[in-house]
Amino acid sequence: MTSEQINCEIDRITAFISEQLSGGYKAVIGVSGGLDSDVVARLVIKAIGANRVKFFTVIQKDMEPHHLENARKLAYEMNIRLNEIN
């Protein structure tokens, strides 16, 4: 896939998200610290803006420490508070 095709797909996805969340709707995103939730979070923020997004993560007994750190890093980069649920 070329970078042009990737950018076209990003535009298509963010337009869909923006349409679905029009009218001022907000999004609550569970972030696990994995790649999938990171990509979803970034696409939603690109579509509707960080001011309409909330993050949470559920801390599990068997959760790998680097996943929690990744979730915290994403929240920091996006300037969104990460709500951590035990």
pLDDT, position 1: 87
Going by pLDDT thresholds of 50, 70 and 90, the confidence category of residue 82 is very high
Number of domains in the chain: 1
| Residue 76, Cβ density class (10 Å: 0-12 exposed, 13-18 middle, ≥19 buried) | exposed
Taking Cα atoms as reference points, which of 41, 24, 25 lies closest to residue 33? 41
- Number of residues written out for the chain: 86
**CATH number of the domain within which 55 lies:** 3.40.50.620
The DSSP call for residue 56 is E
Provide the β-strand partners of residue 85. 58
The pLDDT of 59-85, averaged and rounded, is 96
Residue 81 pLDDT > 90:
yes
Q: What is the pLDDT of residues 8-54, one digit of tens each?
A: 999 999 999 999 999 999 999 999 999 999 999 999 999 999 999 99
Q: Residue 62 sits in which domain range?
A: 3-85
